[in-house]
Amino acid sequence: MSNQAQFVQQAQQYMDTIFRLAFSCLKNRTDADDVTQIVLLRLYQNNKPFVNDSHLKHWLIRVTLNECKKHWRSLWRRTEDLDTYINTLTFEDGQYRDLLQAILELDRKYRVVIYLHYYEGYTIEEMAKLLHLPAGTVGTRLARARSRLKTNLSEEENL
Amino acid sequence: MNNPIYHAFRPIHASDGTLEEVFQRIESKRHRFCFSVRILLAAVLAFILLTLSVFAADYVLNHRQVFFFDTLEALAAEQSQENPGNAIGYAIPCDAEEAKDLETSVQYVARAMENGLLGDEQVVDRGRTPDGCWVIRKCQNDLYGDVLTEYRTSPTYANALSIDGLLQWDLSALANTMKPDENGQILVLCKSQGEHDLLWSKAHLGYTTDEGKWFSLSYTYDITWDYGRPEYILSDAYDSSEVFVTDDSVQVLLLSYDGQVWAKAANGHRSVDIYTTGRTVPEIKSLLNQLSLSTVLR
């Protein structure tokens, strides 16, 4: 397989993962698109071989988090009406839309651990390595994220 | 999967055109790289051209005489045409080794007198003084008609040169620092036969430095020939070439080449020439300041 064909295959396999993580971080579709393209560009330019898919995915998530941090530091951040974007998405059930909105209302640090743990299936130890944080801190963040999410959802139900 | 959070995130997908955008960025980066390479090449080329231009300008400025005229002789010829009688002659100087075989004016005249080259049939008088000799000859001159030319040698000329009604020149600055040549101090006076009016006069004075190198000074006066105030040609055929102004405001053309130094100053009918292999340009400048040229060339 040529390098380009291999890149296309890897990009197609992981671009949604990258985009979702970026969107979780940035809460903006355009910025998430931008970060996704930059990360894939870095993948294209990367000369180091990956041991396996897990290694590749780990590398992509690290690069995505770093690029998100760069975007976050940028003085120029685009704003977007999240509801407009979320309304374009097709959910299996309406309750998942509310859940996503509730997740997106959390702080960034909680959004990231929620996504990595519940969607990507990473354990606390794996997230600790990805985020370069102590496992205890990640565990606390995950617990608080769950608690706040619960609060947000019950508030919405009461409205 | 029954995880509700998984279902909440699942509808989120990267934009359809993400891969195309990535490839466009890759192309754009390539173009930017090519553009950067072109800019770099253009900058290098511009630098080379600029350097060449600077070198060319430097060459033209330093060799403008040669650059704008075929030869320095052509330049001298043109200056002579523009200022007849005012431009000094130009010659490629010989180097110090070649100069050893040349005879100075002093040596030539001394040899001429010694060997009788002047022609005995023209000699009307000759004699000896306690420290020198004289020869007077009669001849016909195209310019002055019948003239009497008097050749005199005396070691006293090395210290002071005196010509009646023309010159009182203290040369102790030379005699005190160099050794006067034996039989090397010659004064030539040319007078009309009838009235004995002075028509021209030349003095050739020779000295030797402590290192055994030459120093010769010539003084010329001519009632017909006007040396003017030369439009000095500064020639880069020499190691150095400059017009030096003495403390008493006399302009002197100073040339140096291969250890030789020439100095030339003129005003009207009088001129002074110096040639030496034993003095540097700064030393000659110092000597020129002590020779009171303004009184000699007044």
Please indicate, yes or no, whether residues B23 and B131 belong to a single structural domain of this protein: no
**Per-range mean pLDDT, top range of A10-24, A62-76, B129-143, B203-217:** A10-24
The 3-state secondary structure of B128-174 reads EECCEEEEEEEEEECCCEEEEEEEEECHHHHCEEEECCCEEEECHHH
Coil, strand or helix: which one is B13?
A: coil
CATH code of domain A84-159: 1.10.10.10
Please count the structural domains in chain B.
2
| Fold (topology level) of A1-80 | Rna Polymerase Sigma Factor; Chain: A (1.10.1740)
CB atoms within 10 A of CB B286: 13
Q: What is the mean pLDDT of residues A21-48?
A: 91
Is A61 within 8 Å of A119 (Cβ atoms)? no
Q: Do A33 and B21 touch (CB under 8 A)?
A: yes
Q: State the residue range of the domain holding B255.
A: 93-296
For residue B276, tell me if it sits in a domain. yes
Please indicate, yes or no, whether residues B32 and B97 belong to a single structural domain of this protein: no
The mean of the pLDDT values for chain B is: 80
**For A114, nearest residue in chain B (alpha carbons):** B5
ipTM above 0.85, yes or no: yes
Q: Do B12 and A23 touch (CB under 8 A)?
A: yes
CA gap B117, A73 in Å, rounded: 105
The mean of the pLDDT values for chain A is: 88
Write out the H or E segment, with its range, that includes residue B106. helix B105-115
CA gap B229, B249 in Å, rounded: 13
For residue B82, tell me if it sits in a domain. no
Q: What is the pLDDT of residue B89?
A: 46
Q: What is the pLDDT of residue A79?
A: 65
- List, in order, residues 6 or more apart from B61 with CB less than 8 Å away: none
Q: Do A36 and B4 touch (CB under 8 A)?
A: no
Phi, psi of B250 (to 5 degrees): -105, 130
Q: Angle CA(A89)–CA(A95)–CA(A101) in degrees, nearest 5?
A: 60
For residue B202, tell me if it sits in a domain. yes
Q: Which residues of A touch B26 (CB under 8 A)?
A: 41, 44
